[in-house]
């Protein structure tokens, strides 16, 4: 149904009409009358268009405001501080009903707007908004609330990061401190609600795999301390602003100490005990979504929503197998180029173990990425007209989460420009951070990958707020993987080992298509998935295990990288073929980056429209 809707709308986006420029040879008076009437009709049409566009913009603005009320922590991250004292309902029945009503009512309202009268830009926006409401309503038909946390997406870890003072939660005023204490109280209530929802899940056979529960328990235990001053949640007190009076400092210290000692730590201890004594015994022995009630249909929906396509998971699996074979062939060419004496498997083993391929200290790794930043930045103006105003910094992953965190990640800059973006590098295991993988990782996570796409999106003007802050994994990760591809054109992979690093990262994304679908649709075991990745890449075993367990926790998300990249590359190839010498790569990148994050079908409409205008 959605595909048909978008196909029909292509003509509208391209502005195709039945108008003719032929002039009727009527009398002068008759012509004047017709011209006058046409002017009136034209003016009326313009008035209708303006009225419709205002109605649409008002509608999506209303939605965004209502959504921020529903999701107060999200509001904090987008720079709206009206709800900084609230944690949000999340798991309550009231929240679930409000979310359903919100999506239902706004879907009905937007359907009453005549899409054909909107500008091409707002037609794309309309498609995004309508798509989101449909996906959200289908989401509700599956019981995700019964598995409210996993080792990868943990509300506990997210709250620690917010409470550190280095994330989105502000700690500048006394009111800010009171807001955080109130939000923390809401989180304490959430820990009990989470247990109740997981009990429901146990009765419904909707539970996490046992190995993932075993990963969560140490994360929780790390938060259990004997004294509030040793808690990571005490960080705001350790960093009280100098502008606070002694009385204010004393009052805040006393209230935070009491809250942490008497309420927070007991709540976290209760949650930890629940996982150990009640949830672990009922956890699943199987590793994929296929074993959940209606699990295969649920997984197909997750695959569709993450990739923003209607591709069957079997088709995605086959694409993955083909890509793995192609990339292995490219890797073998690198092995021959560097005159390695041994087969590809031996080459993998060499690159994964020999000391010259790794840093011996953590700071050396961070400094290496800072140097790469300068090298990459020098090339960017040749490929982009538009670049983000915000800068980014390179930081090591914090010690409290480094053992379970990904090898690298990106955190967006503050919306108001007060904080740069952050390119996080996990320095916990230096053997998992080979030198030959640095160029491609920097291109992906920082510039021109996630930093460009996300920072530019936040800095857009003249687009609805939901576009500035919405996201689609296929678009964002597809762009980041495309940014790695651009590194070849930038001349950053002249060193064959760095090019191998690019192939290695691309191999990871191709293997994900195989392994994610294998785990969740084809009944693969965790061990089978791990072995497949060992056989086809030089990745450290610790990284492979973390990757596979990530796919087990968030099904379908890993499919979005390669699917998104392949779509961007195919659209670029189409545009180059259609425009020939008129094709401008910088202008193509402008088109991709200047409407926010887009579903694949909507992005396709935009590029097709752009190609027509260039002709």
The series of mean pLDDT values per 10 residues for the chain, 615 residues long, is 33 30 41 50 70 95 97 94 96 97 98 94 94 96 97 92 91 98 98 98 98 96 96 96 98 98 98 98 98 98 96 97 97 97 94 95 97 97 97 91 82 90 94 94 97 96 90 95 97 97 96 98 98 91 91 97 97 97 97 95 94 93
Q: What is the pLDDT of residue 375?
A: 97
Respond yes or no on whether the N-terminal peptide bond of residue 612 is cis (omega within 30° of 0). Answer: no
Measured between its terminal Cα atoms, the distance across the chain in Å is: 31
Which pLDDT does position 432 carry in this prediction? Answer: 87
Enter the tokens of residue 25: 């040879």
Query: From CA 547, how far away is CA 543, in angstroms rounded?
Result: 6
Phi, psi of 324 (to 5 degrees): -60, -45
Cα–Cα distance for residue pair 395/388, rounded to 1 Å? 19
Distance CA 167, CA 395 (A): 13
pLDDT at 403: 78
Yes or no: say if 409 and 152 are a contact pair by the CB < 8 Å rule.
Answer: no
CA atoms within 13 A on the CB side of 602: 25
What is the reported pLDDT for 417?
86
CA distances, 410 to each of 46, 424, 476 (Å):
44, 6, 12
* Tokens of residue 31, six digits: 């012509």
Residue 24: predicted pLDDT: 40
Q: How far apart are CA 422 and CA 396, in angstroms?
A: 10
Q: Where do the H-state alpha helices sit in 140-206?
A: 155-163, 174-204
Q: Considering only CA atoms, which of 37, 133, 143 is closest in space to residue 91? A: 143
The model carries a pTM of 0.85
**Residue 118, C-beta contacts closer than 8 angstroms, at least 6 positions apart:** 49, 52, 53, 56, 125, 126
Kind and range of the H or E element at 109? Answer: helix 93-111
The pLDDT of residue 22? 36
Q: What backbone phi and psi angles, to 5 degrees, belong to 394? A: -105, 125
Contact 392, 422 (CB under 8 A): yes
Which tokens is 269 given?
């201890």
At residue 1, the pLDDT reads: 33
d(CA 368, CA 379): 18
> Residue-wise over 12-27: b if at least 16 C-beta within 10 A, else e?
bbeeeeeeeeeeeeee
- Residue corresponding to tokens 């209502």: 66
Whether 443 and 492 have beta carbons less than 8 Å apart is answered as yes
Percent of the chain as helix, strand, coil, to the nearest 5 = 70, 5, 30
| Alpha carbons 185 and 86: distance in angstroms, whole number | 9
Tokens, residue 212: 């993932």
Pairing of strands 421-425, 408-411: antiparallel
- In Å, how far are 347, 351, 499 from 341, measured between CA atoms? 8, 13, 19
Candidates 444, 544, 440; CA nearest to 493 is: 440
- Choose among 570, 564, 563: nearest CA to 611: 570
In the chain, what's the furthest Cα-to-Cα distance? 96
Using DSSP's 3-state secondary structure scheme, residue 423 falls into strand
pLDDT digits (tens, 9 = 90+) for 515-542: 999 999 999 999 999 999 999 998 888 8
User: How far, in Å, CA of 516 to CA of 554, rounded?
Assistant: 9
- C-alpha torsion angle, residues 436, 441, 446, 447 (rounded to 10): 70
Q: Are 164 and 232 in contact (CB under 8 A)?
A: yes
């Amino acid at each position: 149904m959605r595909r048909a809707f978008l196909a029909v709308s292509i003509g509208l986006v391209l502005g195709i009409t039945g108008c003719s420029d032929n002039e009727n040879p009527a009398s002068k008076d008759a012509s004047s009358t017709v011209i006058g009437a046409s002017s009136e009709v034209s003016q009326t049409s313009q008035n209708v268009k303006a009225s419709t566009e205002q109605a649409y913009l008002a509608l999506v603005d209303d939605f965004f405001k209502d959504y921020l009320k529903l999701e107060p922590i999200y509001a904090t991250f987008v720079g709206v501080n009206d709800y900084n004292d609230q944690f949000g309902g999340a798991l309550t029945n009231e929240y679930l009903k409000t979310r359903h009503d919100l999506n239902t009512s706004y879907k009905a309202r937007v359907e009453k707007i005549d899409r054909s009268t909107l500008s091409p830009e707002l037609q794309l926006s309309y498609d995004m908004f309508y798509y989101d409401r449909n996906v959200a309503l289908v989401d509700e038909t599956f019981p995700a609330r019964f598995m409210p946390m996993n080792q990868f997406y943990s509300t506990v870890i997210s709250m620690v990061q917010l409470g550190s003072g280095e994330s989105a939660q502000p700690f500048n005023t006394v009111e800010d401190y009171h807001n955080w204490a109130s939000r923390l109280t809401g989180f304490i209530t959430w820990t009990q609600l989470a247990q109740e929802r997981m009990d429901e899940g146990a009765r419904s056979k909707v539970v996490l795999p046992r190995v993932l529960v075993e990963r969560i328990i140490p994360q929780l235990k790390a938060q259990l301390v004997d004294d509030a001053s040793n808690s990571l949640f005490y960080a705001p007190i350790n960093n009280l602003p100098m502008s606070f009076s002694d009385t204010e400092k004393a009052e805040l210290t006393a209230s935070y100490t009491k809250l942490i000692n008497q309420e927070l730590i007991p709540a976290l201890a209760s949650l930890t005990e629940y996982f150990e004594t009640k949830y672990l015994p009922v956890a699943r022995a199987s590793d994929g979504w296929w074993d959940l009630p209606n699990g295969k249909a649920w997984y197909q929906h997750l695959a569709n929503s993450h990739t923003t396509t209607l591709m069957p998971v079997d088709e995605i699996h086959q694409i993955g197998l083909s890509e793995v074979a192609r990339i292995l062939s490219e890797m073998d060419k690198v092995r021959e180029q560097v005159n390695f004496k041994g087969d590809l498997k031996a080459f993998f083993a060499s690159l994964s173990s020999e000391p010259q391929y790794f840093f011996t200290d953590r700071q050396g790794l961070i400094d290496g990425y800072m140097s790469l930043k300068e090298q990459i930045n020098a090339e960017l103006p040749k490929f982009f007209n538009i670049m983000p105003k915000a800068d980014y910094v390179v930081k090591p992953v914090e010690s409290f989460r480094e053992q379970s965190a990904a090898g690298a990640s990106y955190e967006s800059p503050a919306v108001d420009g007060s904080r740069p973006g952050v390119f996080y590098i996990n320095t916990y295991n230096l053997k998992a951070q080979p030198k030959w993988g640095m160029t491609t990782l920097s291109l992906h996570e920082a510039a021109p990958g996630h930093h460009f796409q996300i920072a530019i999106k936040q800095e857009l003007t003249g687009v609805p707020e939901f576009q500035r802050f919405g996201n689609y994994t296929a678009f964002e990760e597809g762009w980041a993987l495309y940014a790695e591809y651009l590194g070849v054109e930038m001349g950053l992979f002249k060193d064959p080992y760095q090019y191998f690093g690019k192939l290695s990262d691309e191999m990871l994304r191709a293997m994900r298509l195989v392994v994610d679908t294998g785990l969740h649709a084809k009944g693969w075991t965790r061990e089978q998935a791990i072995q497949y990745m060992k056989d086809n890449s030089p990745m450290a075993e610790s990284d492979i295990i973390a990757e596979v367990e990530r796919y087990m926790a968030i099904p379908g998300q890993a499919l979005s990288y390669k699917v998104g990249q392949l779509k961007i590359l195919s659209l670029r190839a189409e545009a180059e073929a259609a425009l020939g010498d008129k094709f401008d790569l910088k202008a193509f990148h402008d088109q991709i980056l200047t409407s926010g994050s887009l579903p694949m079908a909507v992005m396709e409409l935009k590029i097709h429209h752009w190609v027509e205008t260039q002709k």
